[in-house]
Amino acid sequence: MEVGALCSELRDTTMLSFNANQLYTVDDFGDTQVTHRTQKAVPKMESCMERIQKVLERVIRDVVGHCNFKARVTRVERACDPCRKGL
């Protein structure tokens, strides 16, 4: 759920900035885009990516923890059940 919301935020990041009522020279338009990307779009994308990475790292920790728990339970079950020791 969190990853989906963060991906939506990433997808919705505006990469192009312009005012439809303004006339731009080619150089002015280019400068406006560079400024927008470096000051707004890239930092927002980097922030989203960092948050996605944190969520995924948490998921990995949870899955590994669950697998470790499951392995411990299986070892205890085998130790307590003499019929299953050979499994």
Q: How does pLDDT run across 41-86, given as a tens digit for each residue?
A: 999 999 999 999 999 999 999 999 999 888 888 888 888 876 655 5
Task: Kindly report the pTM of this predicted structure.
Answer: 0.70
Q: Is 6 exposed, middle or buried (0-12, 13-18, 19+ CB in 10 A)?
A: buried
Torsion of CA 53, 55, 59, 60, to 10 degrees: 20
Q: Is the pLDDT of residue 4 over 80?
A: yes
Q: Is the pLDDT of residue 87 over 70?
A: no
Which pLDDT does position 40 carry in this prediction?
96
> Greatest CA separation found in the chain?
83
Which pLDDT does position 28 carry in this prediction?
96
Total residues found in the chain within this entry: 87
25: left (phi over 0), alpha (psi -120 to 50) or beta: beta
